[in-house]
């Protein structure tokens, strides 16, 4: 269940370091079931390791994103949320009226991804996406 080994080497191979802060933040993201905000991670890690700065949390997420270990989604509620990539790709339909969130299968977006690649040579990063609109109830 513990992946700190391969993450550690993944970091080191690129010249990054595995610090206690990073370990604890990564652990907390893996432990979280679902999408979690920087604030929430900060609060959870602070319980056990009080001397942590919120900016370190943001910078760690930046790094984890770069390494492809987490994805970032803006659900439109004013705070960005993060999600471990090991828990699978998925997307969201966010209703602008009632705020409900519908999980979306990746397959629906594949035709778009293909079209962008074919027509524009653009490799779209659709790992995590939120599409806004109106759900069936609110239409």
Partner DNA sequence: GGTTTTATTGAAACTAATTGCAGTTACAAT
Partner DNA sequence: ATTGTAACTGCAATTAGTTTCAATAAAACC
Residues that bind DNA (CB under 7 A): 8, 11-12, 15-22, 37-39, 51-56, 58-60, 62-63, 78-80
CB of 55 to DNA, least distance (A): 3
CB of 43 to DNA, least distance (A): 11
CB of 50 to DNA, least distance (A): 9
User: In this complex, which beta carbon is closest to DNA, that of residue 96 or of residue 105?
Assistant: 96
Phi, psi of 26 (to 5 degrees): -65, -45
Decide: helix, strand or coil at residue 125. Answer: coil
Regarding 96 and contact with its own copies (CB under 8 A), the answer is yes
- The residues, any chain, with a CB within 8 Å of residue 53's CB and separated by 6 or more, are none
75: left (phi > 0), else alpha (psi -120 to 50), else beta? alpha
């Amino acid at each position: 269940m513990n992946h700190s080994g391969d993450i550690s080497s993944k970091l080191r191979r690129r010249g990054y370091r595995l610090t206690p802060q990073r370990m604890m933040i990564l652990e907390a993201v893996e432990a979280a079931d679902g999408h979690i905000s920087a604030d929430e991670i900060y609060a959870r890690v602070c319980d056990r390791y009080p001397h942590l700065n919120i900016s370190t949390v943001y910078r760690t997420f930046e790094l984890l994103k770069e390494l492809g270990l987490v994805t970032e989604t803006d659900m439109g509620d004013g705070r960005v949320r993060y999600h471990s990539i090991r828990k699978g790709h998925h997307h969201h339909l966010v209703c602008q009226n009632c705020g409900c969130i519908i999980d979306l299968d990746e397959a629906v977006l594949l035709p778009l991804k293909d079209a962008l690649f074919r027509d524009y040579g653009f490799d779209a990063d659709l790992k995590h996406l939120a599409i806004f609109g109106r759900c069936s109830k609110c239409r």
